[in-house]
Amino acid sequence: MPKYPSHPFVAGVFMFCVMALGQAQGLGFGSPKSDDPIYRGDYFYNFENSILTPDGKSEAWCINSDMSKAMLPAKNPGEQWGTSYVVVRGKLGPEGSFGGLGRCKRLLEVTEILEVKNVRGRK
């Protein structure tokens, strides 16, 4: 049977590593859970736009994140176009003028897609 060092320094380093690992997991380093706020609303996309109209608001927020889970696949390049209802977590930027012709009042960085419903393509 191998002998393990019983020197106090080695035991101390071992305990420090165990405690540090426990702290890292407690801080969320061990899990993908996010504390970002939840946003929901109608999502519109096409070859040049990715826009959320949040529930209860009449403004548009440009999305600068991968939203492919909320989109129908394109039959041909440049033909991706549609709408869906989404519930997402994200980081909302300050007010400004974003997107084509400054259409969007804010930028939303989506960190997690929680739900997608009513996915529709171009009619």
pLDDT computed for residue 79 by the predictor: 78
Q: Which amino acid is at 46?
A: N
Q: Mean pLDDT, to the nearest integer, of 31-49?
A: 86
Please say if the pLDDT value at position 51 is more than 90.
Answer: yes
* Cα 24 to Cα 49: distance, rounded to the nearest angstrom: 38
| Inter-residue contact 49 to 81 (CB < 8 Å) | no
Assign 33 a pLDDT band (cuts: 50, 70, 90): low
pLDDT computed for residue 6 by the predictor: 54
- The predicted-structure confidence for 77-90, as pLDDT tens digits, reads as follows 777 899 999 999 99
Q: Mean pLDDT, to the nearest integer, of 107-118?
A: 97
